[in-house]
Amino acid sequence: MIRKFKTLTLAFAFIMAVPLIAQANGLPVFTELAAKAGKAVVFISTEKTAAPGHGQQFRQQVPEGHPFHEFFDRFDQFFGQQQGQPRKQLGQGSGFVITSDGLIVTNNHVIEGADKVTVRFQDNKKIYEAKVVGADRETDLAVIKIKADKTLSTLPLGNSDAIQVGEWVLAIGNPFGLDNTVTAGIISAKHRIIGAGPFDNFLQTDASINPGNSGGPLLNMRGEVIGINTAINAAADNIGFAIPSTQAEKIIRQLQQGKIVQRGWLGVTIQRVGETQAKALGLSEPTGALIASVGKGSPADKGGVKQGDVILEVNGKKVEDNNDLLKQIAGLAPGDKARLGLWSKGKKVTKNVTLGQRNDKSLAAMTPKGQGPTKTAEVLGMQLKSVTDQEAQALGLDKTQGLVVVTVDRNTAAGEEGIRQGDVIIQANQKDVNTVAELKSVIKRDKKRGAVMLLIKRQGQNSFVALPLDK
What's at 224, amino acid-wise? E
Distance CA 377, CA 443 (A): 15
As a whole number, mean pLDDT of residues 184-212 equals 87
Residue 378 has pLDDT above 50, yes or no: yes
The per-residue pLDDT for range 240-287, each reduced to its tens digit, is 999 999 999 989 999 998 888 888 889 888 888 888 778 888 888 999
The angle that helices 67-79 and 54-61 make with each other, rounded to 10 degrees, is 140
Give alpha helix (H) positions in 384-460: 389-394, 413-416, 436-445
The per-residue pLDDT for range 342-377, each reduced to its tens digit, is 999 889 999 999 998 876 555 655 544 443 445 678
Distance CA 353, CA 363 (A): 18
More confident residue, 259 or 57: 259
The per-residue pLDDT for range 409-427, each reduced to its tens digit, is 877 888 888 888 888 999 9
Q: Are 439 and 385 in contact (CB under 8 A)?
A: no
Helix (H) or strand (E) holding 338: strand 337-344
Q: Which domains are delineated in the chain?
A: 2-37 (no CATH), 40-58+84-261 (2.40.10.120), 264-357 (2.30.42.10), 368-468 (2.30.42.10)
Residue 250 CB coordination number (10 Å) = 12
Distance CA 341, CA 354 (A): 14
Q: Which pLDDT belongs to residue 371? A: 38
The strand pairing partners of 120, in sequence order, are 43, 127
Instruction: Give the rounded percent of residues in the chain with a pLDDT score beyond 70.
Output: 80
Residue 24 has pLDDT above 90, yes or no: no
Tell me if the pTM is above 0.85.
no
Residue 103 has pLDDT above 80, yes or no: yes
Q: Are 322 and 290 in contact (CB under 8 A)?
A: yes
Q: Are 129 and 116 in contact (CB under 8 A)?
A: yes
As a whole number, mean pLDDT of residues 394-398 equals 68
136 φ, ψ (degrees, to nearest 5): -135, 110
Q: What's the distance, Cα to Cα, between the start and end of the chain in Å?
A: 79
Q: Which of 435, 249, 227, 247 is nearest to 326 (CA)?
A: 247
**In degrees, to the nearest 5, what angle opens at C-alpha 25 toward C-alphas 21 and 31?**
60
Catalytic (active site) residue 245: no
Identified catalytic residue from 45, 188, 214, 362? 214
Q: Are 227 and 243 in contact (CB under 8 A)?
A: yes
Q: What does DSSP say about strands 356-357 and 377-379: parallel, antiparallel, or unpaired?
A: unpaired
Give alpha helix (H) positions in 113-215: none
Q: Are 203 and 187 in contact (CB under 8 A)?
A: yes
What's at 369, amino acid-wise? K
Q: Which of 144, 211, 200 is nearest to 176 (CA)?
A: 211
Instruction: Give the rounded percent of residues in the chain with a pLDDT score beyond 90.
Output: 41
Going by pLDDT thresholds of 50, 70 and 90, the confidence category of residue 74 is low
Distance CA 280, CA 277 (A): 5
Identified catalytic residue from 140, 179, 206, 324? 140
Helix (H) or strand (E) holding 55: helix 54-61
Catalytic (active site) residue 214: yes
Distance CA 211, CA 177 (A): 9
More confident residue, 7 or 280: 280
Residue 197 CB coordination number (10 Å) = 17
Distance CA 281, CA 260 (A): 40
In sequence order, what are the residues at sequence separation of 6 or more whose Cβ sits closer than 8 angstroms to the Cβ of residue 47?
Answer: 88, 89, 90, 91, 114, 115, 116
- Provide the 3-class DSSP secondary structure of residue 292: strand
CB-count burial class (<10 Å; 0-12, 13-18, 19+) for 53: middle
Q: Which pLDDT belongs to residue 5? A: 37
Identified catalytic residue from 54, 109, 160, 386? 109
Where b means 16+ CB within 10 Å and e means fewer, 132-162 reads: bbbbbbebbbbbbbbeeeeebbbbebbebee
CB-count burial class (<10 Å; 0-12, 13-18, 19+) for 37: buried
Going by pLDDT thresholds of 50, 70 and 90, the confidence category of residue 204 is very high
288 φ, ψ (degrees, to nearest 5): 85, -170
- Provide the 3-class DSSP secondary structure of residue 174: coil
Q: Which of 3-7, 50-54, 126-130 is the most confident on average? A: 126-130
Catalytic (active site) residue 54: no
As a whole number, mean pLDDT of residues 188-209 equals 86
Q: Which pLDDT belongs to residue 310? A: 93
